[in-house]
């Protein structure tokens, strides 16, 4: 399915491009749907597109030497991914999986790469996004290295949370991942994550609201995630 200019303009990385350039991209870009747990691309595959998540949620994963799945990042609507392969033309370093039914825009590498390196506003946006991903990767390594399961889960929730500007006591995680998806991110078992969540809910620290998770006490969550508070 082809992609309209209006859809392309919704992505922050593309929003600064001239309409004539977006019109050219729209002619060769594609909109594709992926079912839950369907692979978008696999580690080791060649990069042919820069991809933008229009709707849904994705998870980037890698695998240990013994084949264990380890989470790298989540992607939300508006995010782009697959940029490393687009930039250096090497294979993709991770596998990306749809966590829910997702819609993705595929922009051909041969068209988008020259823009990424020649358009100042786009190059700046790309640089800032890559810097953010590097910081997230460093934080993810720190979380995986933690020994306390409660601290691990709280640290991951803290990274994913969006503090409410009108109420600094609470925060929200939209489209909260499943316990299994969260376990993959922190290198723990699903059972361990479930036990921690039962404790957090019993202590009224978190609450489910549909597909979202509300954090009812941001200060306590942050204190546990940073090791200042060791237990509830």
Interval 92-123: pLDDT, tens: 999 999 999 999 999 999 999 998 888 888 88
- Topology agreement, domain 5-144 and domain 149-225: no
Q: By C-alpha distance, which of 209, 185, 216, 191 is closest to 99? A: 185
Q: What are the angstrom distances between the C-alpha of 219 and each of 73, 163, 223, 232? A: 24, 11, 6, 12
Report the interhelical angle of 179-186 vs 120-144 (nearest 10°): 90
Strand partners, 39: 97
Which pLDDT score is estimated for 96? 94
Six-digit token string for 102: 């997702």
> 9-42 pLDDT, tens per residue?
999 999 888 889 999 999 999 999 999 999 999 9
The residues spanned by each domain of the chain are 5-144, 149-225
> 49-88 pLDDT, tens per residue?
999 999 999 999 888 777 677 788 889 899 999 998 888 8
Its pTM stands at 0.81
182 and 153 Cβ atoms separated by less than 8 Å: yes
Which pLDDT score is estimated for 72? 83
Place of tokens 């825009």: 105
Which pLDDT score is estimated for 117? 83
pLDDT band at 165 (very low <50, low <70, confident <90, very high): low
Which pLDDT score is estimated for 120? 87
Please state, as a whole number, how many other Cβ atoms lie within 10 Å of the Cβ of residue 166.
6
| Lowest-pLDDT range of 56-60, 81-85, 158-162, 208-212 | 158-162
Instruction: Give the class (CATH, top level) of 149-225.
Output: mainly alpha
Q: By C-alpha distance, which of 163, 164, 136, 120 is closest to 73? A: 136
Does 5-144 carry CATH code 3.30.1370.160?
no
103 and 32 Cβ atoms separated by less than 8 Å: yes
Query: Phi-psi region for residue 56, left (φ > 0), alpha (ψ -120 to 50) or beta?
Result: left
Which pLDDT score is estimated for 163? 66
Mean pLDDT on 136-157: 88
């Amino acid at each position: 399915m082809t992609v309209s200019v209006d859809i392309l303009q919704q992505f922050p990385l593309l929003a600064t491009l001239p309409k004539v350039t977006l019109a050219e991209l729209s002619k060769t870009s594609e909109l594709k749907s992926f079912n839950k747990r369907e692979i978008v691309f696999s580690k080791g595959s060649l990069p042919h597109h820069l991809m933008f998540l229009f709707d849904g949620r994705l998870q980037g994963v890698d695998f240990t030497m013994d084949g264990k799945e380890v989470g790298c990042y989540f992607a939300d609507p508006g995010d782009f991914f697959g940029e490393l392969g687009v930039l250096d033309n090497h294979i993709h370093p991770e596998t990306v999986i749809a966590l829910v039914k997702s819609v993705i825009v595929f922009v051909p590498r041969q068209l988008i790469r020259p823009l990424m390196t020649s358009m100042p506003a786009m190059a700046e946006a790309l640089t800032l996004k890559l810097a953010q991903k590097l910081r997230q990767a460093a934080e993810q390594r720190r979380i995986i290295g933690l020994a306390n399961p409660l601290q691990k889960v709280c640290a991951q929730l803290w990274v994913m949370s969006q503090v409410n500007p009108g109420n600094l006591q609470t925060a929200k995680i939209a489209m909260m991942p499943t316990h299994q998806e969260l376990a993959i991110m922190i290198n723990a078992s699903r059972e361990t994550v479930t036990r921690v969540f039962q404790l957090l809910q019993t202590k009224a620290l978190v609450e489910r609201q549909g597909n979202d998770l509300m954090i009812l006490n941001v200060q306590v969550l942050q204190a546990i995630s940073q090791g200042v508070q060791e237990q509830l």
